[in-house]
Structure 1
Amino acid sequence: MSSFLDNAPTYLVFMTTAASLGATTGLETALGVIDEALLVAVSAGAVFMGANTYIGNAPNFMVRSIAVESGVKMPSFLGYMKWSVGILVPLFLIDTLVFF
């Protein structure tokens, strides 16, 4: 979801879902108790997957607009997704294996 929506709403949706799972230990929030490992995974997923597209993360779109305005050739929306799938998804998988 965070590839096509901003990171913040995606994070909030999944954090709310995690709070509804009924954990008894973990981080106590206004939504309820959330297992810390689950909260870290939701955070990492929202941030990493938000970088997959220009619209998933506001700075991606801003940098693209500035670059195009300055005459720098930038990939199209789908072109950027091809690069990000080839680079960011493997990095996310490595990050998942190392830290989770």
Structure 2
Amino acid sequence: MKPACCWRCAHGEEAGFVPIPPRSAYRKREVEVSENNQGEIKEVCDVMESKINSLTERMSRMEKSVEEQERQVHANSHDISQLKAGEKAIQDKLENVGKPYEKKQY
């Protein structure tokens, strides 16, 4: 048995590996595919473009939703601060119930 130069050469045929063609064969094949199947490639490009467009629209809708939620959070925090101020005023009044009224000197 002759020593192999690499693992692929040593185990290639038994494991079912196909020898790698030279790089020029890949280039030639790419040219053949693009020339022979331009219609299919255009269809794939159109499908991918429509998917990108739908994802872009979806992303813009989500961004608008996030902006609306941020505005709502801001409004809610403003409402909460007003409610806390009102609660403090009510508690102050409850603490003063039954106490004699003091005139303030100006």
Mark yes or no: TM-score above 0.5.
no
TM-score where L is the length of structure 1: 0.28
| More helix by percentage | 2
